[in-house]
Amino acid sequence: MKKTLLSLSLALASTSTVIHAAPTDADKYLAQTEDEVIEWRRHLHQNPELGNREFETAKYITAHLKSLGMEVETGIAHTGVIGFLKGGKPGPTVALRADMDALPVTEEVDVPFASKAKTEYNGEQVGVMHACGHDTHVAMLMGAAQVLAEMKDELAGNVLFIFQPAEEGAPDGEEGGAELMLKEGLFKKYKPDVAFGQHVTSSLPAGVIGYRSGPLMASSDEFRINVKGRQTHGSRPWGGVDPITAAAQIVMGTQTLVSRQIDITKEPAVVSFGVIDGGVRNNIIPDSVYLNGTIRNFDMDNRQEIFKRLKTTAELIAESSGAKAEVEILEGYPVTSNNPELTEAAIPALKAAAGDSKVMVIPKITGAEDFSFFANEIPGFYYFLGVTPEGTNPATAASNHSPRFYVEESALKVGTKAITQLTLDYFASQNTQ
């Protein structure tokens, strides 16, 4: 259950009422970390590791946090690292999160610190690259940790630094990520009041921040359907049960789930098939066909309704032709939804970091994020930081997860300041109540 915010919007409803905590000190320390953040990012970029295997990344982060004198825990959700900074004055606890893992992608960006790493993934040798920018997230949070540690005595509250593994998903057969951190008792132990997180994107110019109140990113769920018939010769379809025609009807029938059965005035949704696999020869009707796809949605009630209707549709269509459909739904990440009051309160901090003209509301994103698990437990706010360099059109820039994904590093000082200022402003707001 989400906690209720303590009248945060009253304290931070507009730029005229916002209180920035010690901005001069923060700016001084931020300026001192700019070069280090880039240095840390380049090291991490050159040494990427896949989810639940971020061993060296965890050591690198741990050494930094310990050098700042804070309490450090390691081995959380396999490789996660936690830093806890106790402020000099009583107050709430703010959780700040950065994800650590890279992707099985071979880098094609021509930079001196490009990744040459290789590893085994699903039985194959693959390149490894921070193609989604998690290296920048870690570096910026390391920078924020350094700034806030310098200001420790002034802080009216505590900061929980969460360096999370396996955001891109745990290896097959393993648990991981934010869900496992919570399952192991992270929030029960530290009891944070709010959580902040950020993600770099090629969809915005460098230094521009995009945010949205309420649902920001979709839930992401996988479905698998095995359509079972009875094999026969292609010249005698009546001699068996054809799972291919049944599967084709299931594909077409499920297209009406969203367009005819779900109230899309509430929130949009998408059901997509990515795999159809069945048969080995042109004149043999096979025993079975395998279907595999994804469901994206922005409303948790709609999510459950889609699950139910997908199962019913597939099973009854198959039954109508004498076949049988076995439907499995693998629940992934929930909807990432920003708490409205916390979002409103965050705007002044974002503008202080990026400038008034470089903070904007962005459309919903059908990608998914496991920060959603944190934001389902406590009020959360998640936003995007543009990293596409000037002169490059964000609409055509290589996207996150591309081997050509490129980060304009000048944006990192904006992200470091934003996550720091969000923390300071939240402490200041709670102090005025």
CA-to-CA separations, 95 to 98, 153, 376, 381, 382, in angstroms, rounded:
10, 18, 14, 11, 12
383 is catalytic: no
Element (H, E) at 245: helix 243-256
Catalytic residue among 29, 60, 211, 333: 333
CA 12 – CA 69 distance, rounded (Å): 31
Tell me how far apart the alpha carbons of residues 349 and 425 are, in angstroms, rounded to a whole number. 7
73 is known as an active-site residue: no
Q: How far is the C-alpha of 7 from the C-alpha of 269, rounded, in Å?
A: 33
Longest alpha-carbon distance in the chain: 82
| CB burial of residue 237 (10 Å; 0-12, 13-18, 19+) | middle
> Pick the catalytic residue: 29, 211, 409, 426?
409
For residue 110, what are the contacts with CB-CB under 8 A and spacing of at least 6? none
Q: Sign (positive/negative) of CA torsion 184, 185, 186, 187?
A: positive
- What secondary structure does DSSP assign to 74-127, as a single string? EEETTTEEEEEEE-SEEEEEEEEEEE---BS-------TT----EEEETTEEEE
Q: How many CA atoms lie within 13 A of 143 on its CB side?
A: 32
Strand, coil or helix: 172 = coil
Give catalytic residue positions.
Answer: 333, 409
